[in-house]
Amino acid sequence: MDDQSLDQSAGDQKAQYRRLKKESAEQDERISQLYEKKLKQEKQLAEQDERLARLRSNSEFQDAEIKRQAAEIKVQAEEIKVQAEEIKLLKLDRAEKEKKIKQLESDLSDLREIVNGIAVYHNLYEKMVEEYEIELAGLSDHRNWQKSEAEQILAHHLWDAEMEVKRLDYELTEHKKKRVCHICLLHQTTHLIGTHTETREFADAGTQHNDLEELGETGSQTDIKQFTDIGTQTNGQFIGHWRLLIGLFIIVLVVCGLLYNQIGPFRIGLMLHYIRGPPPF
């Protein structure tokens, strides 16, 4: 039952209560009028009885008048009887209406209690709505704060990602430069190996030629030959060390190439980043 239906029911019961009160007042007024009329008629009957008693001692005219008045009295007695029955019915109706009025008063009291309870619940509901609105405003502010924080974190991560991309680009460029330098160094080393090989062959040929021509010379020439042999041996040892270093360098390049193909430039760049530190930008 909502507020509108309760208000309408209470209004209908109030209107019925006022109508019954009005009808009861009208019935009371009518009963009082009937009582007054009855008293007047009884008074008239008493007067007529007195007149009848006086007329009985008069002539035949008086007898006829007495009969006429007796008929009127009889009619009035019937009217009084009818009015008495009507008064009785009105009293019964009034008792029923009073009973209905009491029932309506009880129902109206119950409706008032229900309306008061609904008003209490309505106030509680309004307070809950206000609390929910305050909580909703707080949640909205918290959501806006979280959104701002998320935007700031996203901007920070985007900046970190841009810096990481720049760093990786820088490392890739450095790696390419180092690779070009390694290739140039390899070419230079290969050229140097060829030059030292030719020098050694030329020195060995010259030594053999000098040994054949200077086989019968003095001790100073023997010292020169020994010095030349020592230089040749030293040069050969130097070239052997260079070959070993070049072989190791080629093996390192092959291993790096395999790692580059397997791991990728990105992870290699990350390893170099953690080894060398952040890029200079």
What is the pLDDT, as a whole number, of residue 273? 53
* N- to C-terminal Cα separation, the chain: 75
Q: What is the pLDDT of residue 260?
A: 60
Give dist(CA 62, CA 53) in Å, integer.
10
Neighbour count for residue 132 (Cβ, 10 Å): 10
Q: Which of 237, 171, 166 is nearest to 200 (CA)?
A: 237
**Under CATH, which number does the domain 3-147 receive?**
1.10.287
Nearest-angstrom CA–CA distance, 59 and 72 = 20
| CA angle 193–197–203, rounded 5-degree value | 145
Maximal C-alpha separation, the chain: 224
Residue boundaries of the structural domains of the chain: 3-147, 154-276
Per-residue pLDDT for the chain (281 aa), expressed as one digit of tens each? 456 676 677 777 777 777 877 887 787 788 888 888 888 888 888 887 787 777 666 666 666 777 788 888 888 888 888 888 888 888 888 888 888 888 888 888 888 888 888 888 888 888 888 887 888 788 778 778 877 887 887 778 778 777 877 887 787 788 777 777 766 666 666 655 554 444 444 444 444 444 444 444 444 444 444 444 544 454 455 555 677 777 788 877 777 766 665 555 545 555 555 555 544 44
277 φ/ψ sector (left φ>0, alpha ψ -120 to 50, else beta): left
**27 token code pair:** 């019935």
Q: What is the pLDDT of residue 281?
A: 41
pLDDT of residue 220: 42
How far apart CA 42 and CA 81 sit, in angstroms, is 12
Query: What distance in Å separates the CA atoms of residue 77 and residue 105, rounded to the nearest whole number?
Result: 41
Measure the CA–CA gap between 276 and 184, rounded to whole angstroms. Answer: 24
Contacts of 10 (CB under 8 A, 6+ apart): 108, 111, 112, 115
Residue 41: both structure tokens together: 């008629």
What is the spatial distance between Cα 116 and Cα 257, in angstroms, rounded to a whole number? 89
pTM for this structure?
Answer: 0.28
Helix axes 60-213, 265-276, angle to 10 degrees: 80
Residue type, 137: A
Three-class DSSP category at 125 = helix
- DSSP per residue over 13-61, as a string? HHHHHHHHHHHHHHHHHHHHHHHHHHHHHHHHHHHHHHHHHHHHTS-HH
* CA dist 213 → 208, 216, 222 (Å): 9, 8, 12
Place of tokens 């009084």: 80
Let me know: does 229 contact 203? Beta carbons within 8 Å. Answer: no
Q: Give yes or no for a contact between 53 and 63, defined as CB atoms under 8 angstroms apart.
A: no
Token pair belonging to 261: 């193909």
- Which structure tokens are listed for 108? 């109206």
Instruction: Please say whether the beta carbons of 27 and 90 come within 8 A.
Output: yes
